[in-house]
Amino acid sequence: MKCQVPAVASLKQGEFPISPLNSASEHSNIFANDIAYQAMLVWAKKQLGLGSLPSSTQSWTVYRDVSLGENFYLKLTVVKSSGKGKQRGSLVADIKMIDENNRLLSEIKSAKVTASANLNDLFLPKAPKTTPKAKQSESEASA
């Protein structure tokens, strides 16, 4: 999967700024690291039908941080999964971040997410609430 964290992310990071590396324009990118876990959560939802949260990682080796605005690729390799069609499950995966020149940026071994049907509602967009008065106005408008 091709990925990129836009430079605007540094403006939205809150009280924990991205630390500078070698120059004012080069920064380590914690947002890129989060993409690895987000990919697992998406996989668990699509393949298992369950919401999930990260629970453990055996190891994470960073060879070079992803720079803001840099294109890179994420390769997720499923090691083990369980729970399809059930109330609970899990996913264990190895993940690699690879730059556009096919150089390994980082690798994660045995990252695990715990999945549960109880988490499904937490990851759905909330429908806007309408008041009875608003509903009445809508029905009057369509009459």
Kindly report the CATH number assigned to the domain that includes residue 94: 3.10.129.10
2 band by pLDDT with thresholds 50, 70 and 90? confident
9 band by pLDDT with thresholds 50, 70 and 90? low
Parent domain of 96: 1-6+27-119
pLDDT surpasses 80 at 96: yes
- Counting the structural domains of the chain, the total is 1
Note whether residue 71 is domain-resident. yes
Note whether residue 13 is domain-resident. no
Note whether residue 133 is domain-resident. no
Pick the closest to residue 73 from 43, 42, 104, 50 (CA basis): 104
Note whether residue 16 is domain-resident. no
Note whether residue 69 is domain-resident. yes
pLDDT at 136: 54
Residue with tokens 């899990």: 90
Q: What is the mean pLDDT of residues 104-124?
A: 90
pLDDT tens profile 43-83? 999 999 999 999 999 999 999 988 888 899 999 999 999 99
With contact defined as beta carbons under 8 Å apart, do 91 and 43 qualify? yes
Burial of 21 (0-12, 13-18, 19+ CB in 10 A): middle
Note whether residue 56 is domain-resident. yes
Question: pTM for the full model?
Answer: 0.73
